[in-house]
Homo-oligomer: A and B are copies of this chain.
Amino acid sequence: MLNDEKTVLSHECEGCPIRHRAVCARCESDELERLEEIKYYRSFEAGQTIIWSGDRMEFVGSVVSGIATLTQTMEDGRTQMVGLLLPSDFVGRPGRDGSPYDVVATTDLVMCCFRKRPFEDMMSTTPHIAHRLLEMTLDELDAAREWMLVLGRKTAREKIASLLSIIARRDASLNLRPTQGALVFDLPLTREAMADYLGLTLETVSRQISALKRDGVIELEGKRHVTVPDFSRLLDEAGDDNDGGMLA
């Protein structure tokens, strides 16, 4: 599996854009120093597979910039996205060798990698890391369960609205813009990837996006640039409780 990714020289953890959200968020400076010894950066190009399902993983790490997806595929080709990895999200599972999913970069992407074995050793001696990882895993579990409601019970239109509102919210939270009034963001996914996330076909995704545009819930400039004039309207369409929830 020779990839053509470039290996980048180490940067300092101070000043890292995900310093306060990633698995290292709670670390003290001496702990950061130990982490810096076992970390390295790797870049991936859009479309490149970071880890193949079933493959042995020699590292774990955090997404620094860019977006990746976790997908599961059945023998006959049906695929389901089971996770969307944004900057600060953690990749890999300490204590297990293989990944059960494909991890694919959907945009150009930079990861902060830790060699697996040393990281596992650090986890058992550094409660700050283990604790933060537990917290992040619990959050992911909540998100996965939230998504089960979307997949199991929502209509195609509600599914699209749900996905848009999640992307809008995470984008706003990352860039520290308020989740209120008009929102603008770029879709990081193709129609097909959206379909794989939502358990739909790409045609249905396309039709529902057109319908939301026609109904004035969203505005499109090109295929990817989205404006949401009224976020609470979008939440309504998603069928979510809309008790004025701002970003988490």
List of 3 A-B pairs having minimum Cβ-Cβ separation, nearest first: A152-B199, A82-B145, A151-B151
Interface size on A, residues (CB 8 A): 40
Q: How many subunits of this chain does the assembly comprise? A: 2
Q: Contacts A70-B145, A137-B141, A144-B144 given; 4 further ones with Cβ under 8 A?
A: A124-B131, A127-B130, A144-B148, A148-B148
A-B contact pairs, 16 of them (CB 8 A): A72-B145, A72-B148, A74-B149, A75-B241, A76-B239, A78-B153, A80-B152, A82-B149, A83-B145, A100-B145, A127-B127, A130-B130, A137-B138, A144-B148, A148-B151, A152-B198
A87-128 vs B, CB cutoff 8 Å, 1 = contact: the mask equals 000000101100011000000000000000000000010010
Given contacts A100-B142, A141-B140, A199-B151, contact A95 B135 (CB under 8 A): yes
Interchain CA distance A93-B72 in the complex, whole Å: 27
Residue A52 lies at the interface, judged by CB distance under 8 Å to chain B: no
